[in-house]
Amino acid sequence: MNDLSPEFQDTGIGIFGGTFDPVHIGHLRTALELKYTLGLAEMRMIPSARPPHRAQPQTSADHRLTMLKRGLGDEPGMVADDRELRREGPSFTLDTLLEIRSEVGPDTPLCLCIGMDALGELNTWHRWEEFMGLTHLVVAARPGWHLPTSGKLVDFVHEHRVQDHTSWKNSPAGKLLIVEMTLLPISATGIRQARARGESIRYLVPDSVIEYINQNQLYNT
């Protein structure tokens, strides 16, 4: 999966956010593949407390964090980061980037990982134009993907996009990379709905997470 030469491996930190309500194998597999494809030293999965651009989570922060930790298990370099759950107010990505940048220093490459749908809405995010001074942007895209065709994002992509999957490692921030992947068609909404109907969610969610869901009677209604 990782065909990078040794000098480019295990560098930088990935940032992969979501509500994870619940975390499922689509989240986990995408994050893991991005970690290895890019040669990241670490991938931080960050549950959002109060996402400003989507419906609020159905399940408590404590439950979602515990499920994420269970789902990650002991996989090396995969980390559950609870900073947004500990922070008051909306879970703005900019605040998270500023915090992590202050912790790791100015020289460590950061990679904010999002989907192509999120890229198409990036100009609606809080102070989005400041992101590239703090991080690289990695876009996970399904085969047949299309870039934004109008508005500020066209110029943004043109200015920052690179083709080389290793060139971002030469700088801490500022480049946009599109990684084509076969993303698993699984949604947390569908899992919650299946659970409420009494259907099995096995093979969609790690067994350790299903065990926790059952123990705590989550998503029953």
Tens digit of each residue's pLDDT (9 = 90 or more) over 17-54? 999 999 999 999 999 999 999 999 999 999 998 877 66
pTM to 2 decimal places: 0.92
Count of H helices and E strands in the chain? Answer: 8, 6
Mean pLDDT of the region 128-147: 94
The Cα–Cα gap between 133 and 25 comes to: 32
52-65: burial string, b at 16+ Cβ within 10 Å, e else: eeeeebebebebbb
CA dihedral 130, 167, 32, 192 (to 10 degrees): 40
Regarding beta strands 78-80 and 110-115, do their DSSP bridges make them parallel or antiparallel, or are they unpaired? unpaired
Q: Mean pLDDT across the stretch 189-202?
A: 96
- Check pLDDT > 50 for residue 7: no
Please give the structure tokens belonging to residue 37: 């494809």
Per the DSSP assignment, residues forming a β-bridge with 139 are 114, 178
Q: Cα–Cα distance between 201 and 79 in angstroms, integer?
A: 24
The pLDDT of residue 137: 98
